[in-house]
Structure formats: C-alpha cells, structure tokens
Amino acid sequence: MKWNEVKVETASEVVEAVANILMEAGASGVAIEDALDIENFQSDQYGEILNKEDFTYLKEGAIVMAYFPETIFLPEIVPFIKERVTKLPEYGLAIGKNSVTASEVEESNWATAWKKYYHPVRITRMLTIVPSWENYQTNDPLEKIITLDPGMAFGTGTHPTTSLTLQVLETVLRGGETVLDVGTGSGVLSIASKYLGAKDVYAYDLDEVAVRSAKENMDMNEVAKDVHVAANDLLKGIEIESDVIVANILADIILLMIPDAWRLLKQTGSLIVSGIIEDKKQMVIDAMETQGFVVEQIFQQKDWYAIILKKPEVE
C-alpha cells in the first residue's frame, strides 16, 4: 500500500500541537524529529546515551511527519493543516520555518524509519525508558524499566518537558498516592508514577489515539496494568481527590485546568506542571497564584520549565 507523507517543518515548542493537528486531519500515524531530543543524547550521570556522531540528526527546530493512506485526497487536507498551524502564533506559540510539504512513500519506509531515533535512555536515577523493540537488561536493582512504544502518541521521555516531569515525579512521590495524569499522551508519566509507588493512577487525554496508545503501553508494563485510562477534556467532570496532579502540556492549556486542579488537589498535595517555555513561565505562575497556589519549586532543562505548586498551609 502506498502512503502520502505530509511534513511540517516547525519549532520544537509546538511539536505536540502540530502532531495533534495532523492527527485531527486524519493521519494514521506521526513521527517527530526534534533537535531538542537529540541534544539530550549526551553522556550524563544516569548512564549510557547515544553518541551523536554516530548518526545524522536535525540541528535546529523540528519536523513533524504525518502519514495518510492514498485514499485520502491531500489537496483538501494540506490547506486545512497549513491554516491550523499558521494560527498557532495567536496562542503565543512560535512556529519556526512553518513549511508544509507532501510526498508519496512506501508503507515499509514510514513504519520503521522513526525507530532509529529511539534507544534505551536512563532519564532519572531510577527510571529508564526502553522502546518496545529493544532488548535491554539491567544489573542495577534500583533501575525501573519503562517499556514504551512511542509510535503514534507523544511523550517518549527524551524531550526536555517529559524528562523534567519524570525527575519531578521522582522527587515528589513517596508511595501510596493517588495521581491524576492530565494529557497523558503515551502514558509514560502514569507508568513512572506506578513504578515510583503511586497506589492509584488515572490517566486522561482528549485525543482518542493517545488513549489507545497509552492503554497499549500500560499493558506492556506489568506495574501499570491497573492504571485507569480514559478520554477526557483536562479535568472537567472529574471528582477524584488527589495527592498529585501532573500535567505536561502547553502553558496556555495549563491555564484552563487551574480551577479544577485547585478543586481536586488535597490540602497537602502537589500540582506538577511542565511543558512551559521561558516566555510563558511568569504567566503560568501569576495565574496559579491568583487561584491561591504557592510555588514550591521550579525545575529547568534547557529552555523548558516544570513547576511544583502547593496549596497554602492551613494555620
């Protein structure tokens, strides 16, 4: 079967937003090449990482590639994609080069091409993400292996926003918590939460593709098979009082969930938000403080921020 590839050259900041636009347009899958992902493939304190000199990689920005069956009429789809991406700056998002191109590819080429970018990576002291097609063994009793197939969802663990959030979860979780994972994507944060001792984890995403992918990834990790995964618009309609709420999503979307996060977070709980760029950081903090939250700690990796927020202590 022949497939059509639509390639969007854009900025790292909007890869998930662009990927969502492409999936909404009817794509059967997406692949992402992000210069920021490759920057993370360097030796660090956590273990063996790829040598960047061993392969070619994107030096700047990002490319989001989507694949449509030949039965879909691209002349109708491409203008829709261009229009939606071009409107992203209205939300304060940089879109970089903003080039949209289409070409024909064989199924065998796209189905496996993106796999060369994903290899076992130790993200934190305890957490290592391993693609489902890799055979990885560890001799470290502290190392927890998250098996993941990142093919059609978002959040592989290598992007700064995801690795930041994983580090924060390792800081916050002590065991026995109820966790809400908002915008779960691939489900990696929910799986990590279970490995870090959370008792009950509820994962939500608005995108049905992400929900299906997250469920499949949960099933590949025995510890996470009891995670509740469902489609939902942020925290609307949810009534689960939680010790930890975690959201690795765009800053402008984080603002929409603040009242519900305040309503559902226990007095002693922690709200973790990530996916925030420098230009949006103060906007998020101001909105949180207006609601009543107090900033406990701010984490930074490259140009991205994650923030831990608490409710003020009751005297």
**Which residue numbers belong to the known binding site?**
162, 183, 205, 248
What distance in Å separates the CA atoms of residue 283 and residue 261, rounded to the nearest whole number? 17
Measure the CA–CA gap between 247 and 244, rounded to whole angstroms.
10
What letters, b where the CB count within 10 A reaches 16 and e where it falls short, cover 247-262?
bbbbbebbbebbebbb
Binding-site positions for S-adenosyl-L-methionine:
162, 183, 205, 248
Distance CA 203, CA 227 (A): 7
- Give helix 188-195 / helix 160-172 axis angle, nearest 10°: 30
> 218 — phi, psi (to 5°)?
-60, -45
Q: Which residue stretches of the chain are H helix?
A: 15-24, 35-39, 74-86, 107-113, 160-172, 188-195, 208-219, 251-264, 278-291
Decide: helix, strand or coil at residue 142. Answer: coil
